[in-house]
Chains A and B, each alone.
Chain A
Amino acid sequence: ETGVTQTPRHLVMGMTNKKSLKCEQHLGHNAMYWYKQSAKKPLELMFVYSLEERVENNSVPSRFSPECPNSSHLFLHLHTLQPEDSALYLCASSQFAGDTQYFGPGTRLTVL
């Protein structure tokens, strides 16, 4: 257990659905991250939040919409996704941006 939880662990959705991924950290950290991990590709940083403000948006399509209502919670809202968006979505947190990161177990997303 790393202190970072993600729900759901698995998600199958159609291209017209709207769903949300949730991440919660119990470590008192100030920074939270969303990553996408596709098969045979390096880990891709999507978004960084520091002190609840988005400080990084790595050219992610608008069909992915992050939300950070407080320093413990991070959401990734999904709508009209494409099959190529199928991947493992990982959430992480750190005390400060650039510090050691603690990862959740990930959400395995399949878009049909």
Chain B
Amino acid sequence: SQQGEEDPQALSIQEGENATMNCSYKTSINNLQWYRQNSGRGLVHLILIRSNEREKHSGRLRVTLDTSKKSSSLLITASRAADTASYFCATDWEAAGNKLTFGGGTRVLVKP
């Protein structure tokens, strides 16, 4: 399966600390995206990184992509209680054509 696998499944940190989560996938991709989901709500797109990019920033978010290792990481710096959510990676893989494949997600709890 091409499905992305996030690691860890759950993460608990104190406000102000950094949170890092990883995503691994199996086949060549066009791009990799990170989404956030608050409990029981829809997903919100955070950032997209293309296969020819190695790092992208958006505010307190930093995403890296290592295509040789087929992995990506999402770093949230100076976390806030409002960052508490589930975070998903999604891959647009070359053979898929029409869809993103989502991983199982990392549940992040930021304690005030």
Residues 36-76 (chain A) with a chain B CB within 8 angstroms = 41-43, 45, 48, 50, 55-56
Is chain A's binding surface mostly helix, strand, loop or mixed?
A: strand
Inside 8 A of B59's CB, which chain A residues have their CB? none
Asked if B99 is an interface residue, CB under 8 A from chain A, the answer is yes
Contacting B98 at CB < 8 Å: which of A2, A97, A104?
A: A97
Chain B, interface size category, equals: 20 to 34
Q: Scan A13-41; emit 1 where CB is below 8 A from any B CB, else 0.
A: 00000000000000000010100000001
Asked if B42 is an interface residue, CB under 8 A from chain A, the answer is yes
Asked if B28 is an interface residue, CB under 8 A from chain A, the answer is no
Question: How far does the Cβ of B16 sit from chain A's closest Cβ, in whole Å?
Answer: 29
Inside 8 A of B104's CB, which chain A residues have their CB? 41-42
Determine the residue in chain B with the shortest Cβ distance to A102.
B45
Contact call B99/A97, Cβ cutoff below 8 A: yes
Residues 82-96 (chain B) with a chain A CB within 8 angstroms = 88, 90, 92, 96
Contact call B30/A98, Cβ cutoff below 8 A: yes
Q: How far is the CA of A49 from the CA of B18 in the complex (A)?
A: 39
Q: How far is the CA of A50 from the CA of B41 in the complex (A)?
A: 24
Contact call A4/B42, Cβ cutoff below 8 A: yes
Q: Scan B71-112; emit 1 where CB is below 8 A from any A CB, else 0.
A: 000000000000000001010100011111111110000000
Inside 8 A of A105's CB, which chain B residues have their CB? 41-42
Which B residues fall within an 8 A CB radius of A?
Answer: 3, 30, 33, 35, 40-45, 48, 88, 90, 92, 96-105
Q: What are 5 A-B contacts with C-beta separation under 8 Å?
A: A42-B104, A43-B43, A97-B97, A98-B98, A102-B45
